């Protein structure tokens, strides 16, 4: 299995709370990604990073924000959670280079009440 970790695995939280989803990888990958995926549905890219201090928004508009202060760490933050944020969030990474395989974390299932 790939060395990419996400915490928490499951989170149930009330509307209006601030949450941070953690993602870490020990492979030294420069490139990291956040996807949003409703169960059994397609993946939507919401954020990506080429390296430290580099972050970009993905195809799907998201109210979340990300930061990349360390190579191995790419947290995602929701300042004020809403029921529409209920979903699964997948973190992924890959090394620099042509056609590199993306490695995925186990995901965080978020339920906002």
Partner 1 sequence: AQTVTQSQPEMSVQEAETVTLSCTYDTSESDYYLFWYKQPPSRQMILVIRQEAYKQQNATENRFSVNFQKAAKSFSLKISDSQLGDAAMYFCAYRGGYNNNDMRFGAGTRLTVKP
Residue ranges binding partner 1 (CB under 8 A):
1-2, 31, 33, 40-43, 45, 48, 50, 90, 92, 97-107
> 30-43: b or e for each residue (b if 16 or more CB lie within 10 Å)?
bbbbbbbeeeeeee
Shortest gap between Cβ of 75 and partner 1 (angstroms)?
A: 19
Shortest gap between Cβ of 86 and partner 1 (angstroms)?
A: 16
Q: Nearer Cβ to partner 1, position 53 or 101?
A: 101
Q: Nearer Cβ to partner 1, position 69 or 98?
A: 98
* Nearest Cα to Cα of residue 58 among 35, 89, 74: 35
* Nearest Cα to Cα of residue 105 among 44, 49, 22, 47: 22
């Amino acid at each position: 299995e790939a060395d990419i970790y996400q915490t928490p695995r499951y989170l149930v939280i009330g509307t209006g709370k601030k949450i941070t989803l953690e993602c870490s990888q020990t492979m030294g990958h420069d490139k990291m990604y956040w996807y949003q995926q409703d169960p059994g549905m397609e993946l939507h890219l919401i954020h990506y990073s080429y390296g430290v201090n580099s972050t970009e928004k993905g195809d799907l508009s998201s109210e979340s924000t990300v930061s990349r202060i360390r190579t191995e760490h790419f947290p995602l933050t929701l300042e004020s959670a809403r029921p529409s944020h209920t979903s699964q969030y997948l973190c992924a990474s890959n090394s620099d280079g042509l056609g590199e395989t993306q490695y995925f974390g186990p995901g965080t299932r978020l339920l906002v009440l």
